[in-house]
Structure 1
Amino acid sequence: MPESLSLAASGEQFDVHIARPEGEPIGGLVVIHEIWGLVEHIRDVADRFAELGWLVAAPDILTRGGLEPALGEELFAVMNSADEEARTAAQPRMRDALSGTRAPEYAGWAVAALEATVDWLAAQPGVGGRLAVTGFCFGGTYAFLLAADDDRIRAAAPFYGTAPSPADIAKIRAPILALYGRHDPSLIDALPDVVSAMSAAGVDFEPVVYPDSAHAFFNDAGRRYNPVDATDAWTRVTRFLRAHV
C-alpha cells in the first residue's frame, strides 16, 4: 500500500511517497519526478515498480524549489493542453515557480535530500544494499547526479536527463541505461560528448534513442506520450535494474 513519510536534508523537511511490494523487496529504488514535481503520474510509476517487487521511495524535491505538487499538476495540465495561447501564457508562471531551483544552493540540497532517501531505503528490512535510481526529465538529471555522488547506487536509469560534467561522470561507478527521444534536440546534440565522457571514465553506459519520440515520451498523461516506446522503455528499464541490483 502506498504511504508517505517526511525526511530531512540540511535541516529542511521534504515528503516522500513510499510504495511497498507485497513480499520481500528485490531492492530499494529511488524514483525522481519530472519538473512538475511529485504529481500523480510519478506516484503511479512508483506504485508500478512496487508491483514488480521494489521498495520504492519517490521524494518531493521541488516543493523546496518553489513548485508544490498541486501547482505542478495545474501547470502540467495547461502546458500539455491543445491551447497554444494558454501554454504560452503559462510559461512565465512556470519560470517563476521554478525560480528557487536556480539558487546556487538548491542543487546541493536536492542531492542531499536524495542521499537521505537512499539512507532510508538502505535501512529497510530486506533491501540489503540493493539500491538503484531512475528519474524523468529533471529527475533524470538528478538520477545522474545521485549516481555520481553516492556509490551505494548499483544501477541508474535516467529518462531524458542532462548528464553531469565530465568531472562528475568520472565519479560514477554504477552502470547506466539512459533513454532519449530523437526529437529532443538539446539532449541529442549533447549525446556524443556524453558517450565520449562516459567511455573515458570507464562507465558502463548504454544510451537508447527512440527515433519516433520526443522529450517526455514516457509520461502517459502528456501530449508527447508514445505508448509503443514507453512500453519498450519500461521493459528495458525493469530488466536492467533487476539484472544489476
Structure 2
Amino acid sequence: MGERIKLTASDGFVLNGYRAAPEGKPRAGVVVIQEVWGVNSWVRSVVDRYARHGYLAVAPAMFDRLDMGYESENYGPDQFVIIGEMMKRFDNATAPLDVAAAVAVAAVAGKVGITGFCFGGRVSWQAAGLGLGLSAASGYYGGGILGYIDLEPKIPTEMHYGDKDTGIPLEQVEALKARHPGVGIHVYDGVHGFCNSDRPQNFNEAACRKASARSLEFFHKHLG
C-alpha cells in the first residue's frame, strides 16, 4: 500500500522513510515513530493502517544516523545486544530534526499528529514537548518516563501503557499521571509491546484494539 521515500532534515541529513496515502483526499497527517527494530514490516503495517483510516501517514527511519537503512525482523535476544549498542550512540539532539522532516511531508494533508511505540512512544512524548508543528500526540509504552517527566506537552497528548510492563512499572505511570493531570494516561491489560502482532508472546489483541480505537478517536478530535 505504501512506498519507501527519502526525507531531508533541516541540517541536510537524508534519511529513509515509509509513506502511505489514503484513497481520495486525506483527512490529516500522522507521523508514526518506530520501535527499536526500525521501520520494519510491523511499523509499515501501522502506517498502512492509518492510511486506510484516511490519514497521510509517514514513518521516518530514526536510526539512519546510526546505521543507514537499519531495520530488523529479529526480535530475539541477540538483536537486543545490537540495539543496546546503537542506543548508546543515539543522539536526542538530532532526533527532533528527523521527526520534523516527516512532519513536513505529512503536513501537506493539513494538521499532523504523532504516534509511536516503545522507543517511539518516548520520541512522541518528547515531540509533544517541542511542538514541531504537530497538533496531537498519542504514544505507546514510552520507556524511561521519569527521565522526562517534567517535559510539558505543547499539544493535546495521551499515552498508553500495559499494567504488566516490567520495564515501566505502574508506579512510574502513576507518577506521570500525577505530574500531568491534563494528559490522558491509559492503562491496559498487557505487557510491554502489547500492540505488536509480530511478537505473539507480547501481543494482546483486545488491549491493542482498545488502545488503537482510542488513538483514532483522539486524532479525529484534534486533527480532523
TM-score, normalising length: structure 2: 0.89
State the shift of 1:236 in Å: 1.2
Q: Which residue of 1 aligns with 2:198?
A: 221
User: Quick one: distance in 2 between partners of 1:90 and 1:144?
Assistant: 25
One-letter identity of the residue aligned with 2:46: V
Corresponding residue SS for 2:151: helix
Q: How many residues align?
A: 218
One-letter identity of the residue aligned with 2:196: N
Match of 1:135 among 116, 130, 138: 116
Paired residues for 1:70-219 under 5 Å: 70=71, 72-74=72-74, 76=75, 79=76, 87=77, 89-101=78-90, 106-122=91-107, 124=108, 127-128=109-110, 130-150=111-131, 152-162=133-143, 163=145, 165-169=148-152, 172-187=153-168, 188-199=170-181, 204-211=182-189, 213-219=190-196
Matched, 1:7 2:7: yes
Q: Is the 8 A contact 2:29 2:57 kept in 1?
A: yes
User: Quick one: distance in 1 between partners of 2:25 and 2:42?
Assistant: 25
User: Quick one: distance in 1 between partners of 2:4 and 2:167?
Assistant: 35
User: Quick one: distance in 1 between partners of 2:167 and 2:177?
Assistant: 15
Corresponding residue SS for 2:135: strand
Q: Is the 8 A contact 1:151 1:174 kept in 2?
A: no
Q: Which has the larger radius of gyration?
A: 1
State the shift of 1:186 in Å: 4.1
Q: Is the 8 A contact 2:31 2:102 kept in 1?
A: yes
One-letter identity of the residue aligned with 1:147: A
How high is the sequence identity, in percent, across the aligned residues?
Answer: 27
State the shift of 1:155 in Å: 1.2
Q: Is the 8 A contact 2:167 2:192 kept in 1?
A: no
One-letter identity of the residue aligned with 1:50: A
Corresponding residue SS for 2:163: strand
In structure 2, the gaps of 5 or more residues are: none
One-letter identity of the residue aligned with 1:165: Y
Corresponding residue SS for 1:73: coil
Corresponding residue SS for 1:18: strand
Q: Is the 8 A contact 1:177 1:206 kept in 2?
A: yes
One-letter identity of the residue aligned with 1:43: R
Corresponding residue SS for 2:206: helix
State the shift of 1:161 in Å: 0.7
Corresponding residue SS for 2:161: strand
State the Cα RMSD in Å: 1.9
Q: Is the 8 A contact 2:100 2:133 kept in 1?
A: no
State the shift of 1:154 in Å: 1.6
User: Quick one: distance in 1 between partners of 2:161 and 2:49?
Assistant: 21
Corresponding residue SS for 1:157: strand
Q: Which residue of 2 aligns with 1:55?
A: 56
TM-score, normalising length: structure 1: 0.82
Cα separation, partners in 2 of 1:215 and 1:117, compared to 1, 3 Å: same
In structure 1, the gaps of 5 or more residues are: 80-86
One-letter identity of the residue aligned with 1:241: F
